[in-house]
């Protein structure tokens, strides 16, 4: 499992670029509402 310490907000620009490059039109945040990302 990849653990990320810090705000997911800092990842948004990078994720946006990846989604644009892949042609994705939607995304799912599997960690919404969990504390796993914050731990």
Whether 15 and 27 have beta carbons less than 8 Å apart is answered as yes
Interval 1-39: pLDDT, tens: 566 666 777 788 888 899 899 998 887 877 666 555 555
Q: Which two tokens stand for residue 29?
A: 């945040």
pLDDT score for 2: 61
Scanning the structure block, which residue is given the tokens 């644009």? 20
pLDDT score for 25: 84
Domain that holds residue 35: 1-39
pLDDT score for 34: 58
Count of structural domains, the chain: 1
Whether 31 and 37 have beta carbons less than 8 Å apart is answered as yes
pLDDT score for 16: 85
Predicted model pTM: 0.47
Q: Which two tokens stand for residue 8?
A: 């997911």
Question: What torsion, rounded to 10 degrees, do the Cα atoms 6, 8, 10, 12 define?
Answer: 170
């Amino acid at each position: 499992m990849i653990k990320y310490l810090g705000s997911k907000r800092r990842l948004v620009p990078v994720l946006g670029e990846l989604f644009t490059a892949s042609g994705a039109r939607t995304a799912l945040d599997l960690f919404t509402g969990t504390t796993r990302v914050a731990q």
